[in-house]
Structure 1
Amino acid sequence: MAIRDSVFVYRNPHDPPLAHTGNSSSYDGGYPSGHHELFTIYSWDDQKVRRVFIRKVYTILLIQLLVTLGVVALFTFCDPVKDYVQANPGWYWASYAVFFATYLTLACCSGPRRHFPWNLILLTIFTLSMAYLTGMLSSYYNTTSVLLCLGITALVCLSVTIFSFQTKFDFTSCQGVLFVLLMTLFFSGLILAILLPFQYVPWLHAVYAVLGAGVFTLFLAFDTQLLMGNRRHSLSPEEYIFGALNIYLDIIYIFTFFLQLFGTNRE
């Protein structure tokens, strides 16, 4: 949560709009040095800037999801590819290392995250590594159950997104609750990882999957409302890469937890 706080714009939605004199600022145009905070706060009062920002985020997100869907389909339906990735787990760990390194770079370093073309290059590498991890996980499950989980994930994410845009409830003010739930999920995963080598407990694994899907569904609502600009916390218009990154991760985690919950292993 501390990483996310570093790119928030704190604004009370009940505050009156800032006074503006002179020419209006454009989203793609420059702004005077030392006035970044003023630009950021004022920009959310400009409907055009908000629409451009949200459109950028969801355009990038759509491309990420299409790439991931293509990789999952390849690993699920193409038997030679599926057999190869399962027989070479080294690629999985290499992809995990690339995923972790690029995520930390994008999440913690505002320079690479905001400057073109490095932000798009890093995001592309991140997306490909995450797509590989998701595809390899899907290859161990029955094709029908993978398609079922994809459908459930799409319906859940679409419903949560529409609800987050329409509701008056402010999910961005619930950071403490989300942090507690995330820590519960984290320590539950550690306990499950310790118990798993000794004895597989199906009901405990199912409870963990339900908890994980619920937590990241709440995070999806939280990250969606950060884009809107009319809540307690919001993202700067420069942070379209960070916004797409968070929502993409939420959707992927929801899918993987649904896969653990509803998926059937290949015989």
Structure 2
Amino acid sequence: MHLWYLCLKIYFVSEQENHFKMNKEQPPPYPADPVPQGQPPYPVQGGFPQQQPPYPQQPGYPQQQAYAGVYNQPGNVAGAQSGMLKDQGFNYVGGDEPADEIRGFGDKAVRRGFIRKVYGILMCQLLITGGIIATLMFYQPVREYCMYNVWPFYTCLGVTIVSIIVLACCESVRRKAPMNFIILGLFTLCEGFLLGIVASRYDTEAVLIAVGITCGVTFALTVFAFQTKIDFTMCGGGLFAVLIIFVIAGFIMAFLPQTKWTMIAYGGVGALIFSLYIVYDTQLMLGGKHKYSLSPEEYVFAALNLYLDIINLFLYILQIVGASNSNN
């Protein structure tokens, strides 16, 4: 079962490269200054039409000069004013805030709304998952039915596979409400059922300990990701390579004798990997000064990333606690 969740994460990470890009390549939230650099704000107009030849020179009066257009003169006031505005970073005459600050304020407001939406979706997912796990653990008729009938397990497994493929590959579905929420809800219900079957095989005390540790670790890592100046978004390739090695090791261990200490060691490595992934995916969501970030339209994708990280962390902590309580 652990390998199934690892494969889900690997597939999701492989698709993740298509959904974020470097921050410096993102267009600003407001259109750029329409005045091209180095040119006056208005087209250069020709001077007034040449006046008729002046009257004949009268004695005692200086020769008259033809009138030249003001826009052709070197001391063009409008052009000079535009240059001063550009040098000081203002968008228009009378603007009291630099253009970069205006754009930055708009981008931060959009990003804050994106973060609130992601964490709102994530909390709903975790509450639904916790409710299903509690039902399967403490309501005996449902637990016995699921233990002796395999069709709910394989049905949920199939729905999970289809849902994750649709959410990862179909951008039009993932970004369009309410279809994205419907598919995400189906995925969450099925994942909660699968997690409930896994958790029902452990003691209640071990599950509660694992839930408490997972909550504490996730909260601490989230605060760390918000506060640290270290950019973990540049570590995506390294984390993906470590995850591939971990999955291959899991396949090999499936054919080897399993002891208490090998299970604890494997669970510890898995918990460490997904702890790093929580920090990585959180900073992808935050954007800002980090090198890479997710688009604000990818709120479902961001919530699903963090959800997979947290449930994988829970499973490996549960494996450590369960193996520690065993006598083998």
Distance change in 2, residues 1:161/1:132 (3 Å) = same
Using the TM superposition, give the Cα deviation of residue 118 of structure 1 relative to its aligned residue in structure 2, in angstroms: 1.0
User: Which residue in the other structure is 2:273 paired with?
Assistant: 215
User: Which residue in the other structure is 1:189 paired with?
Assistant: 250
User: Which residue in the other structure is 1:245 paired with?
Assistant: 304
Determine the C-alpha separation between the residues in 2 that align with 1:63 and 1:83.
Answer: 27
Question: The residue matched to 1:238 in structure 2 has which SS?
Answer: coil
User: Which residue in the other structure is 1:162 paired with?
Assistant: 223
Determine the C-alpha separation between the residues in 2 that align with 1:104 and 1:115.
Answer: 16
Determine the C-alpha separation between the residues in 1 that align with 2:15 and 2:106.
Answer: 25
User: Which residue in the other structure is 2:164 paired with?
Assistant: 103
User: Which residue in the other structure is 1:10 paired with?
Assistant: 22
RMSD: 2.2
Aligned counterparts, 1:118-133, within 5 A: 118-133=179-194
1:152 aligns with 2:204: no
User: Which residue in the other structure is 1:67 paired with?
Assistant: 128
Whether the 8 Å contact between 1:50 and 1:237 is mirrored in structure 2 is: yes
1:58 aligns with 2:119: yes
User: Which residue in the other structure is 1:136 paired with?
Assistant: 197
Using the TM superposition, give the Cα deviation of residue 189 of structure 1 relative to its aligned residue in structure 2, in angstroms: 1.1
Aligned counterparts, 1:173-188, within 5 A: 173-188=234-249
Determine the C-alpha separation between the residues in 1 that align with 2:149 and 2:250.
Answer: 25
1:259 aligns with 2:271: no
Partner amino acid, structure 1, of 2:316: F
Aligned counterparts, 1:79-90, within 5 A: 79-90=140-151
Question: The residue matched to 1:159 in structure 2 has which SS?
Answer: helix
Size of the aligned set, in residue pairs, is 242
For structure 1, the residue ranges without an aligned partner over 5 or more in a row are: 23-41
Using the TM superposition, give the Cα deviation of residue 170 of structure 1 relative to its aligned residue in structure 2, in angstroms: 0.8
| Aligned-residue identity in percent | 41
Q: Deviations over 1:212-263 (max 9, x none)?
A: 1111111111110011112111000000000000001110110011111102
Using the TM superposition, give the Cα deviation of residue 45 of structure 1 relative to its aligned residue in structure 2, in angstroms: 5.5
User: Which residue in the other structure is 1:38 paired with?
Assistant: none
Select the structure with the greater relative contact order (CA < 8 A; seq sep ≥ 6): 1
Whether the 8 Å contact between 2:173 and 2:180 is mirrored in structure 1 is: yes
Distance change in 2, residues 1:99/1:18 (3 Å) = closer
Determine the C-alpha separation between the residues in 1 that align with 2:14 and 2:144.
Answer: 41
Using the TM superposition, give the Cα deviation of residue 53 of structure 1 relative to its aligned residue in structure 2, in angstroms: 0.3
User: Which residue in the other structure is 2:39 paired with?
Assistant: none
Whether the 8 Å contact between 1:44 and 1:50 is mirrored in structure 2 is: no
Whether the 8 Å contact between 2:29 and 2:107 is mirrored in structure 1 is: no
Using the TM superposition, give the Cα deviation of residue 204 of structure 1 relative to its aligned residue in structure 2, in angstroms: 1.8
Using the TM superposition, give the Cα deviation of residue 21 of structure 1 relative to its aligned residue in structure 2, in angstroms: 5.4
Using the TM superposition, give the Cα deviation of residue 16 of structure 1 relative to its aligned residue in structure 2, in angstroms: 11
Which deviates the most, 52-61 or 82-91? 82-91
Whether the 8 Å contact between 2:22 and 2:292 is mirrored in structure 1 is: yes
Whether the 8 Å contact between 1:107 and 1:242 is mirrored in structure 2 is: yes
Using the TM superposition, give the Cα deviation of residue 2 of structure 1 relative to its aligned residue in structure 2, in angstroms: 3.3
- Alignment TM-score, normalising by the size of structure 2: 0.69
Determine the C-alpha separation between the residues in 2 that align with 1:224 and 1:258.
Answer: 20
User: Which residue in the other structure is 2:261 paired with?
Assistant: 203
User: Highest Rg: 1 or 2?
Assistant: 2
Whether the 8 Å contact between 1:212 and 1:257 is mirrored in structure 2 is: yes
Determine the C-alpha separation between the residues in 2 that align with 1:75 and 1:223.
Answer: 30
Whether the 8 Å contact between 1:8 and 1:235 is mirrored in structure 2 is: yes
Whether the 8 Å contact between 1:192 and 1:205 is mirrored in structure 2 is: no
For structure 2, the residue ranges without an aligned partner over 5 or more in a row are: 1-12, 34-102
Whether the 8 Å contact between 1:72 and 1:134 is mirrored in structure 2 is: yes
Using the TM superposition, give the Cα deviation of residue 89 of structure 1 relative to its aligned residue in structure 2, in angstroms: 2.7
